[in-house]
Amino acid sequence: MNIKKVALSLFICFFISLTFSFAQNDSLSFFNGNWTENKVTNGVTVKQCHFDKGEFFGSNQYISLLEITKERRIDIIADNVLKRTSEMAKEVGALAAVNGSFFKMSIPYNSVDYLRVDGVMLADNQKSNIGEREMHQLGAIATFKGELFILKADSIWRWEHDIQAEDVLTSGPLLLCGGKKELLTEVPFYKNRHPRTCVGKRRDGTIVFMVVDGRNSAAAGMSISELQQVMSWLGCEDALNLDGGGSSTMVVKDLIINHPTDNKKFDAEGERKVANCVVVR
């Protein structure tokens, strides 16, 4: 037998075993973390954990989860000027909110992804190349009579326009679809760690919003593949990445409960103005 082939086979086996071991350790760290749990109201719970000993994905992480297990109305809201997530949530009397999809910091309108609110289209997808979707337009959240759905873009060019729902917001990348992990590309936005916001839905209808803090020694942030793995561990069948970075914000009862990064401090004061957000009534 060729010695080089044997050595290569042994190396591959060792690498697979090592990768599996790391994945096992990370899942144990995740589920065994010192999670706090606070009931907001019937069917709405906040869970948070600070992994501060470098034990999760070999890094410090601060994770905030908002789980909705009973019927609550979920809507997409927006304005024609940039506003903070907490400000938009307060204006509509929302129970909770997270930031929405991607945007540019310019006026008169700033969304770069398809946006429909109460049946009215406010923005269409902006694309670099005709016929190609941007990575943040590979999926969508849609709300119909207050129920949230996570959808995968198909090959129809104006697919978003045909979704039968009051509110529609494209975003991406799509993380999970039908319980399966979506294929991720090897680009810096996917591979590098950043603050992240995402939304998932379990088979039983539970909605899970997650905000991951980052850009700080206390919280590294996650890559897209790490985010995908966590949403899978949380039992989501479908999951979609929303805007992240300095936009990542979770608000519950008018309080910011994570650590937005625009002030470069690990506190609740660094909230960025955004174009749209997702609210829980």
How do the pLDDT tens digits run along the chain, 281 residues long? Answer: 555 443 434 333 433 343 444 457 899 999 999 999 999 999 999 999 999 999 999 999 999 999 999 888 999 999 989 999 999 999 999 999 999 999 998 777 789 999 999 999 999 999 877 668 899 999 999 999 999 999 999 888 899 999 999 999 999 999 999 999 999 999 999 999 999 999 999 999 999 999 999 999 999 999 999 999 999 999 999 999 999 999 999 999 999 999 999 999 999 999 999 999 999 99
- Is it true that the peptide bond before 260 is cis, omega within 30 degrees of 0? no
What is the model's pLDDT at position 2? 55
- Note if the pTM is more than 0.95: no
Q: How large is the greatest C-alpha to C-alpha distance in the chain, in angstroms?
A: 72
Which ranges constitute the DSSP H helices of 78-212? 85-91, 188-191
What pLDDT is attached to residue 23?
59
Residue 157 is predicted with a pLDDT of 83
Bond prior to 108 in cis (omega within 30° of 0): yes
Q: Which residue has the tokens 């680009």?
A: 187
CA 230/CA 65 separation, integer angstroms: 11
Burial string for 101-115 (b: 16+ CB within 10 Å, else e) reads bbbeeeeebbbbbbb
CA 147 to CA 140: how far, in whole Å? Answer: 14
> What angle is formed at CA 224 by the lines to CA 218 and CA 230, rounded to 5 degrees?
75
What tokens were used for 182?
């979506």
Separation between Cα atoms, residue 234 and residue 118, nearest integer Å: 30
The whole-angstrom separation of Cα 123 and Cα 78 is 11
Distance of alpha carbon 144 from alpha carbon 73, whole angstroms: 9
Give the CA distances from residue 210 to residues 6, 44, 130, 230, 244, in Å, rounded to whole numbers and listed in that order. Answer: 44, 13, 32, 10, 11
For 105, list phi and psi in degrees, rounded to 5. Answer: -85, 65
Q: What is the pLDDT of residue 7?
A: 41
Report which of 93, 113, 117, 135 is spatially closest to residue 280, judged by C-alpha positions: 93
- What pLDDT does 5 receive? 46
Question: What residues have CB less than 8 Å from 33, skipping those under 6 apart?
Answer: 49, 51, 56
Query: What's the CA gap between 49 and 75, in Å, rounded?
Result: 27
Give the Å distances, CA to CA, from 280 to 34, 37, 43, 76, 219: 26, 18, 12, 9, 26
Q: Characterize 247-259 residue by residue with b for buried, 16 or more Cβ atoms within 10 angstroms of its Cβ, and e for exposed.
A: bbbbbbeeebbbb
